[in-house]
Amino acid sequence: MSVVRRTWIVVTVVVIGAAVGLAAALPRLTSTPVETVRVIASYPHDPDAFSQGLIMADGVLYEGTGTFGASSLRQVDLKTGRVERIVPLDQEYFGEGITLVDNKIFQLTWKNRLGIIYDRETLAPQSSFRYSGEGWGLTTDGKELILSDGTSYLRFISLDKFDVVRRVQVRSSQGAVDKLNELEYVDGEIYANIWYSDRIARISPKTGEVLGWIDLSNLYPARQRPSREHVLNGIAYDAKEKQLYVTGKNWPKLYQVEVVKRR
14 and 108, same domain (yes or no): no
Kind plus residue range of the DSSP H or E element containing 14: helix 3-30
Please indicate, yes or no, whether residues 40 and 60 belong to a single structural domain of this protein: yes
CATH of the domain at 80: 2.120.10.30
* Side-chain half-sphere CA neighbours of 27 within 13 A: 3
Contact 24, 32 (CB under 8 A): no
Q: Is 126 left (phi over 0), alpha (psi -120 to 50) or beta?
A: alpha
Cα–Cα distance, 205 to 168 (Å, whole number): 8
Identify residue 147 by its one-letter amino acid code.
Answer: L
- Looking at the structure, tell me whether residues 256 and 151 fall in a common domain: yes
Residues 2 and 116 in one domain: no
What's the CA gap between 243 and 251, in Å, rounded?
20
The pTM score is 0.86
Torsion from C-alpha of 108, 210, 207, 146, nearest 10 degrees: 10
Same domain, 68 and 102: yes
What is the number of structural domains in the chain? 2
The residue range of the domain holding 22 is: 1-31
| Identity of the residue numbered 41 | A
Question: Which residues does residue 86 pair with via DSSP β-bridges, in sequence order?
Answer: 74
Going by their DSSP bridges, the two strands 104-109 and 95-101 should be labelled as: antiparallel
Q: 128 and 205, same structural domain? A: yes
Tens-digit pLDDT string for the chain (263 aa): 544 344 444 434 443 444 434 333 333 445 688 999 999 999 999 999 999 999 999 999 999 999 999 999 999 999 999 999 999 999 999 999 999 999 999 999 999 999 999 999 999 999 999 999 999 999 999 999 999 999 999 999 999 999 999 999 999 988 999 999 999 999 999 999 999 999 999 999 999 999 999 999 999 988 899 899 999 999 999 999 999 999 999 999 999 999 998 76
The greatest distance separating any two alpha carbons of the chain, rounded to the nearest whole angstrom, comes to 87
DSSP annotation of 249 reads B
User: Do 16 and 139 lie in a common domain?
Assistant: no
